[in-house]
Amino acid sequence: MTRGRNVEDPSILQMALVGYEIERQKIDDKIRELRSQLKGKRINSPAGAGLETNHSPVKRVLSAAARRRIAAAQRKRWAEHRRLKKLAAKAH
């Protein structure tokens, strides 16, 4: 290739385009294969990953009793945390 040759030579651009189209077809085939393997399976995708699923996210609903149990357990954990913190402060 000579120096300063115009990079916009139509034959080179055509060959590059054909190469990229072949690569894109390979990638599309692989995507189709992976989607067929995942069909019917739930997946957790990271936010913004671009994965499309056929279902909308389901919001979990807790009963009032369950919320009370969780709140009581959390209060118990915090009470234990404060108790240990108080003991550590007395030790110093």
> What is the average per-residue pLDDT within 34-39?
88
Q: What is the pLDDT of residues 10-21, one digit of tens each?
A: 888 899 999 999
Q: What is the dihedral of CA 78, 84, 90, 92, to 10 degrees?
A: -120
> For all residues of the chain together, what is the average pLDDT?
84
Given this model, what pLDDT does residue 76 score? 97
Cβ-Cβ contacts under 8 Å for 53 (sequence gap 6 or more): 42, 43, 45
* Pair 53, 45: CB distance under 8 Å: yes
Supply the DSSP string of 5-19, one letter for each residue. --TT-HHHHHHHHHH
Q: What is the pTM of this model?
A: 0.37
CB contact at 8 A, 51 and 43: yes
Least confident of 37-41, 43-47, 55-59, 61-65: 43-47
